[in-house]
Amino acid sequence: MKVTSNHFGTLPDQREVLLFTIENNKGVSIGLTNYGGTIVSLNVPDKNGICADIVLGFTEWNDWVKNEPYFNCIIGRTCNRIANAYFSIDGEDFKVSANFDGFQLHGGFEGFNKKLWNASVIETPDSAGVLLKYLSRDGEEGFPGNLFVTATYLLNNENEFSLEFQATTDKATPVNLTSHAYFNLSGEGNSSIYQHRLTLKADHITATDGNNIPTGEFEAVAETPFDFTISREIGERIQQLYKGYDNNFVLWNQSGAMSLAARVQEPVSGRILEVYTTEPGIQLYTANWFDGSLIGKCGKPHFSHSAFCLETQHFPDSVNHPSFPNVILRPGEKFISKTCWKFSNQ
């Protein structure tokens, strides 16, 4: 197990961005930058021992700085959507930045994905990784309170790659953090995701309106294209949907304990991804809006359905739905969330 660091780029204000390379003894290696806590590369062996980079990304530094698709970065203070960019806490109204069609998406104009995090290396006999720290100041993107956040990425020799968030605040504030990783288990640019077989531990989704904002209702997945309670190809029914999947699935496990949420297998390479999380929801997104204008690390354009995201989270717009799992963090409390991506092959 080892971690190395190198220069990755320089921001417009001349701050240096680092690229950390995390390697285990089983052939898995991860490139991780402290700009946005972004996973730049994730190399995993297939059933024949051949490694491929299974996350989407860019070749050019400036594209990583812009990162308009949110490739593989940390999302916060709140991931997903806040309706009307508005919420109320204890009778006090807050208007946050409306960066997308009148609502807030993924934390605003400059969310956690646009921040340079303080970074330090972690190395133990059993794991290696990077500890990231960021202080989100009171009023940032309209959110109340000074929020101190840590994000710990760790890789072990069991091919488990984990991300644990912790946060504290001095004022009540919503917190809903996730990683927006785009996966293609056949390797970036090698194929669509249609033949990837997906299982989700969920039998309901949160119903949404035309802006994909929850209505507060739940819809059963049975006999719909959203039923992945048994293993199905992602492409089997995707054409029945507008553009593709972009939905929050209500996981069976709502206890906060670490539990299996999803399993994906790519049949040609044999690569398997299992997602474990403490979160109550998971957003399946299938890169619906890629039109070929973005060029990947592999030199090929990114088209729709060239990757999938499984964003572990509290439900979208939870701050405006008292019946949803609570996202309000208060002084004296600690927010803790953990997700683990386990890789194998067969």
Per the DSSP assignment, residues forming a β-bridge with 343 are 273
Residue 301 is predicted with a pLDDT of 94
Residue 225 is predicted with a pLDDT of 98
Residue 197 is predicted with a pLDDT of 98
Could you give the dihedral angle defined by the CA atoms of residues 212, 214, 215 and 217, in that order, rounded to the nearest 10 degrees? 120
Residue 159 is predicted with a pLDDT of 98
Confidence of residue 6 (pLDDT cuts 50, 70, 90): very high
Point out the residues that are catalytic.
180, 311
Q: pLDDT by residue (tens digit) across 240-272? A: 999 999 999 999 999 999 999 999 999 999 999
Residue 257 is predicted with a pLDDT of 98
Element (H, E) at 61: helix 61-66
Per the DSSP assignment, residues forming a β-bridge with 262 are 200, 275
Domain ranges (residues) in the chain: 2-345
Q: pLDDT by residue (tens digit) across 126-169? A: 999 999 999 999 999 999 999 999 999 999 999 999 999 999 99
Percent of the chain whose pLDDT exceeds 90 = 99
Q: How many angstroms separate the CA atoms of 193 and 306, rounded?
A: 6
Picking from 174, 202, 197, the residue whose alpha carbon sits closest to that of residue 186 is 197
The CATH number given to 2-345 is: 2.70.98.10
The mean pLDDT of 14-32, rounded to a whole number, is: 97
The mean pLDDT of 223-236, rounded to a whole number, is: 98
Say if pTM beats, i.e. exceeds, 0.85. Answer: yes
Looking at every residue in the chain, the average pLDDT score rounds to: 97
Q: How many angstroms separate the CA atoms of 72 and 262, rounded?
A: 18
Q: How many angstroms separate the CA atoms of 171 and 174, rounded?
A: 10
Is 312 within 8 Å of 13 (Cβ atoms)? Answer: no
Q: pLDDT by residue (tens digit) across 282-334? A: 999 999 999 999 999 999 999 999 999 999 999 999 999 999 999 999 999 99
Confidence of residue 117 (pLDDT cuts 50, 70, 90): very high
Residue 249 is predicted with a pLDDT of 98
